[in-house]
């Protein structure tokens, strides 16, 4: 891409919104990734994608905003999983149940309503270059909420994500805090899908958190490093995609993956 073309691209409003979304998600979503890893609910992303699809189908059928329906339904689904957080067998069983029931209900709603299924599935393939002001405001509000939860509950969060029984014995209100975290994770995944699509959710959540875990020595260190790696991965991937004129999504994923592999090697040497 020539310098003149690059300057023209960077002057577009859609690119400005994409850059803002990348920076915001680079700070907030890795913290959500830390929550996901600490709670050991990596498969929750898949469950929330199915629930979000059901929310979109309901929104298209009823005429309500599909994204709002998806976010609200995911929040309710996250809260419904909280009672199972302290069980010995964990959340894997309830999440599988939720995932299968949600996709079945979504397909049934689409079939009954006659809504074009392709329009509903578009949520799962969002694009940063199609980000509007509404989506940008939504992810900004989410970022503030995520950072407020971390700053407001640092000590109990560290205990809960380290060992749930230790947290309970230390007087942490485990059920209430687990509910808050699960709802936050569910809403974050639903809110990120229209921006990043299913492909990039891992790149902006789990991969920076995994990179941070390879190097961090404490909970606060893991959160701080995850935000650094999220910002670096998003920024470097965006610049590379522009310079080589290749699709943004795969480049961001490969960049975040390369950082994760590098931190793994460095962590092993240490």
Report whether pLDDT(259) > 90.
yes
Half-sphere CA count of 66, side-chain side, radius 13 A:
18
Look at 43-52, 108-117, 186-195, 237-246 and tell me which has the smallest mean pLDDT: 108-117
DSSP structure class, residue 11: T
**Residue 41: what are its φ and ψ, rounded to 5°?**
-125, 45
Q: What would the pLDDT profile of 41-65 be if each residue is shown by its tens digit?
A: 887 877 888 888 888 888 878 878 8
The per-residue pLDDT of the chain, averaged, comes to 82
Across the range 73-98, mean pLDDT stands at 79
Can you tell me the distance from the alpha carbon of 182 to that of 161, in angstroms, rounded to the nearest whole number? 12
End-to-end distance of the chain based on CA atoms, in angstroms? 40
pLDDT category at 260 given cuts 50, 70, 90 is very high
Mean pLDDT over residues 184-197, rounded? 80
Q: How far apart are CA 32 and CA 29, in angstroms?
A: 5
**Of 30, 46, 18, 54, nearest in space to 195 by CA:** 18
In the chain the domains, ranked by start, together with CATH numbers, are 3-269 (1.10.3470.10)
User: What average pLDDT does the segment 91-96 reach?
Assistant: 78
Q: What is the pLDDT of residue 226?
A: 94
Contacts of 171 (CB under 8 A, 6+ apart): none
Length of the chain: 270
Q: In Å, what is the CA distance from 263 to each residue of 32, 143, 247? A: 19, 25, 25
d(CA 30, CA 203): 9
What CA–CA distance (Å, rounded) separates 270 from 265? 9
Retrieve residue 75's tokens: 């929040």
Does 126 score more than 70 pLDDT?
no
pLDDT per residue over 17-36, tens digit each? 888 888 888 888 899 999 98
Q: Confidence class of residue 90 from pLDDT cuts 50, 70 and 90? A: low
């Amino acid at each position: 891409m020539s310098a003149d073309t690059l300057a023209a691209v960077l002057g577009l409003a859609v690119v400005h919104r994409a850059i803002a979304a990348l920076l915001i998600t680079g700070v907030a979503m890795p913290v959500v990734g830390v929550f996901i890893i600490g709670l050991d609910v990596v498969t929750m992303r898949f469950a929330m994608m199915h629930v979000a699809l059901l929310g979109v189908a309901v929104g298209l059928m009823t005429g309500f905003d599909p994204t709002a329906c998806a976010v609200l339904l995911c929040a309710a689904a996250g809260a419904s999983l909280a009672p199972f957080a302290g069980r010995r067998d964990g959340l894997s069983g309830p999440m599988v149940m939720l995932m299968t029931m949600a996709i079945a209900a979504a397909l049934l709603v689409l079939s009954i309503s006659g809504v074009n299924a392709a329009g509903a599935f578009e949520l799962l393939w969002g694009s940063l270059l199609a980000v509007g002001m509404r989506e940008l405001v939504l992810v900004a509000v989410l970022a503030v909420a995520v950072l407020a939860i971390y700053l407001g509950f640092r000590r109990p969060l560290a205990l809960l994500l380290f060992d749930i029984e230790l947290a309970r014995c230390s007087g942490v209100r485990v059920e209430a805090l687990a509910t808050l975290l699960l709802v936050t994770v569910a809403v974050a995944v639903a809110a990120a899908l229209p921006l990043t699509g299913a492909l990039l959710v891992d790149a902006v959540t789990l991969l920076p958190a995994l990179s941070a875990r390879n190097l961090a020595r404490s909970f606060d260190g893991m959160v701080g490093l995850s935000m650094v790696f999220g910002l670096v991965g998003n920024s470097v991937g965006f610049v590379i995609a522009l310079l080589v004129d290749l699709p943004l999504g795969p480049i961001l994923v490969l960049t975040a993956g390369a950082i994760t592999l590098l931190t793994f090697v460095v962590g092993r040497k240490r």
